Amino acid sequence: MSHSQILIIGGGTAGITVAAQLIRKDKSLNISILEPSEKHYYQPAWTLVGAGTYKFEDTERSEARYIPKGVTWVKDKATELNPEKNMVKTAKSGDITYDFLVLAPGLIMAPELLPGLSEAMDKGVVCSNYTNPNHTWEVLQNFKGGNAVFTQPTTPIKCGGAPQKIMYLAEEYFRKSGVRDKTKVIFATPGTVIFGVEVFAKTLNKIIADRDIILKTFYAPVKIDSAKQEITFKYIKGDFDEYSKKLDARIMEKMSGETEITIHYDMLHIAPPQQAPDFVRNSTVSMKEGPGKGWVDVDINTLQHLRFPNVFSLGDVAALPTAKTGAAVRKQAPVVVGNLLHLMKTKKVGDMKYEGYSSCPLVTGYSKMVLAEFKYDNVRDSDPLISTFVDTSKEQYSMWLLKKYVLPRMYWDMMLRGRA
């Protein structure tokens, strides 16, 4: 059995950033990162890969390059977590005990939660930037017209804006490739609106209207039939009897079941259902009830666990009512680091607070982007410096340049090095 003063589970964006910041503040700390992957990916660029404007290989680097100097890399995965005993079981490295734990293992794709998706995933005309953006690009290039359906599940997902970003890019690509006039672009979402923050929703709704995109809200995907190329949605608003009288003939909607609507697709882009890793969901660190069920039960401001004071969590796995993005991690990491170090010195958590900041760089075309920044309760939280020069609630070429060229460099050279 090995022991770590601070054990970080997860060597993705959150785990590496926290480790880098901790070791910068105190080189004497005994820190271990538990992470099985050899490769580290800059996933925000996968949207651009799926649209053919970024190379997948440019999003991939060796994990070893980013393990901070002075931090021990345990190249293994957690299989069981027992916070009552301050212990983690691993697949092949035995048990690890810890004084303090930082949970940052991210989330996992769970296509099996949507019947028919596992069989259809990344094959033929069904694609997902979340799993294989190169296949998305192949599907776009091969598309000859018909119903192009873009959708997302009812579970929390990484970057809630990603399913619509690829839709905007695809719509522009279809115009370039000459098939737009025989294509219906459909965005079907279980959500009530296109975006939760009103000022950004206003811009997006105008784009949807101007570009003749068919928006379907309250559409929760429940089943995929890849043989028939059909996807079935449950209409979750509650007024189905009234709604069913107005089925959309443009896209050949048909009723199937008491509250279900089936649509034929000629291409389908879907974000698969997502959930916390099994070892988290099966542990007492996770919430057992409510909307955060299965995710790590932390104070939404201090990021300290609500029942195990020596445990902190951040990133995708934490039960936080904000978008799961790398931008959120950039604001969460200093809070975890500051509060953890304060706890180690004084036995009391520090007073640093995370206010729910997240950002969604909403790519709306091949040279346009809306930079949506917000915090808890869907309150706009735009960067004061950028906002002085640019209206980030409108489509901007400068924001596209930020997305494609500046943010990746900031990620690799600043954030993962503990400098941003």
Active-site residue set: 159, 360
State the Cα torsion 374-375-378-384 to the nearest 10°: -40
Say if residues 399 and 361 touch (Cβ distance below 8 Å).
Answer: yes
Q: Tell me which residue has tokens 């660190």.
A: 285
- State the Cα–Cα distance between residues 214 and 383, nearest whole angstrom: 32
C-alpha closest to that of 319 among 280, 282, 273, 373: 280
C-alpha closest to that of 10 among 100, 91, 102: 102
- State the Cα–Cα distance between residues 306 and 281, nearest whole angstrom: 16
Give the type of residue at 365: G
- State the Cα–Cα distance between residues 153 and 274, nearest whole angstrom: 8
Say if residues 184 and 214 touch (Cβ distance below 8 Å).
Answer: yes
Enumerate residues 6+ apart whose C-beta is below 8 A from 294.
Answer: 275, 276, 280, 281, 286, 287
- State the Cα–Cα distance between residues 319 and 63, nearest whole angstrom: 26
Enumerate residues 6+ apart whose C-beta is below 8 A from 164.
Answer: 150, 187, 189, 194, 204, 362
- State the Cα–Cα distance between residues 19 and 194, nearest whole angstrom: 36
Say if residues 359 and 392 touch (Cβ distance below 8 Å).
Answer: no
Enumerate residues 6+ apart whose C-beta is below 8 A from 220.
Answer: 153, 154, 190, 233, 234, 235, 236
C-alpha closest to that of 220 among 264, 254, 260, 193: 260
- State the Cα–Cα distance between residues 404 and 417, nearest whole angstrom: 20
3-state secondary structure of 245: helix
